[in-house]
């Protein structure tokens, strides 16, 4: 993959060349390395000749349409892929050429802009923390998010394979060391899709957006695994996508556990090699004798 922005007309890339100075054994030497690219993405809604800016997120360029679609779906702005008639990058004459790929226009099939004031959040996001503002279990209840169905059941041994498969699929992380990932597996542990980004919430939005645009939602028979920790927002996005089992390399937050418990999600943390913790939904995970853990 080529480094980002070698000319004004180039499309922003997912990694950027940089010179770093390596200190080793008391010696300092220059070294050409790659960094994970971080640039803003502005998401705009277009309908009936009107346009509204919805969100700005700091992201790693790539899969921008999936990111925008997944974000709008997770936040309830759209409910299906049929709500989108077209997605384009910005072509406004007033926008500098090098910035046009940092703006995505989502044209709504209804021709009507939604009343975004009814949503409880102001949509400004960062690569570090996700959408900032009021988030609560009550907002999900008011949206009418259903409890996830009780199936499927998955053998313990399947979970042992997920972390290594996720790491092996992180191609950009391998060269930059600076990206999160979200991966989708079936109940036999087969990797179906993976997306990377400097923000774990962006990586998951890209994954959900991919599933939405491909017509795979809801993901009732799938497993999602994320790098890092599982937060309230990660669980919220998985809930809206219908994911029954969510795994993370690190720990969950207390609110993530509360959400998972209330809405019937199996939440796994500290998944590393042949050990993990189950924080909710233990009934979906079967032991070596193919019996449900009690």
Q: Are 251 and 270 in contact (CB under 8 A)?
A: yes
196 has which bridge partners?
A: 181
CB contact set of 189 (below 8 Å; sequence gap of 6+): 158, 161, 162, 165
Q: Are 263 and 245 in contact (CB under 8 A)?
A: no
44 has which bridge partners?
A: 53, 105
129, 145, 238, 247: which is the annotated catalytic residue? Answer: 129
The Cα 173–Cα 35 span in angstroms is 9
286 carries an active-site annotation:
no
What is Dmax (Cα atoms) for the chain?
A: 65
Residue in 123, 11, 101 with CA at minimum distance from that of residue 57 = 123
Alpha-carbon distances of 283 from 14, 39, 60, 242, 259, rounded to whole Å = 40, 42, 37, 17, 17
Q: Would you name the residues annotated as active-site residues?
A: 129
């Amino acid at each position: 993959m080529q480094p980002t922005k070698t000319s004004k007309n180039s499309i922003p890339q997912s990694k950027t060349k940089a010179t770093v100075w390596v200190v080793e054994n008391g010696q300092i030497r220059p070294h050409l390395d790659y960094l994970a690219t971080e640039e803003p993405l502005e998401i705009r809604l277009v309908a009936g000749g009107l346009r509204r800016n919805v969100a700005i997120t700091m992201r790693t360029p790539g899969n921008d349409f999936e990111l925008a679609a997944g974000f709008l779906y997770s936040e309830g702005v759209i409910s299906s892929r049929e709500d989108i008639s077209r997605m384009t990058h910005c072509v406004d004459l007033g926008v500098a050429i090098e910035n046009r790929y940092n703006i995505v226009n989502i044209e709504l099939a209804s021709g009507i802009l939604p009343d975004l004031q009814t949503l409880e959040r102001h949509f400004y996001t960062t690569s570090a923390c996700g959408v900032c503002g009021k988030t609560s279990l009550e907002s999900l209840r008011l949206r009418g998010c259903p409890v996830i169905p009780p199936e499927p059941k998955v053998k313990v041994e399947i979970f042992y394979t997920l972390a290594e498969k996720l790491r092996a699929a992180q191609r950009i992380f391998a060269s930059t060391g600076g990206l999160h990932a979200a991966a989708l597996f079936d109940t036999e542990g087969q990797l179906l899709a993976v997306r990377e980004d400097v923000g774990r919430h962006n990586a998951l939005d890209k994954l959900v957006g991919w599933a939405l645009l491909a017509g795979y939602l809801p993901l009732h028979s799938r497993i999602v695994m994320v790098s890092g920790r599982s937060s309230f927002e990660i669980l919220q996005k998985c809930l809206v996508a219908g994911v029954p089992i969510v795994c993370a390399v690190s720990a969950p937050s207390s609110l993530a556990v509360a959400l998972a418990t209330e809405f019937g999600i199996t939440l796994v943390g500290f998944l590393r090699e042949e050990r993990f913790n189950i924080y909710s939904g233990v009934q979906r995970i079967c032991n070596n004798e193919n019996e449900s853990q009690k």
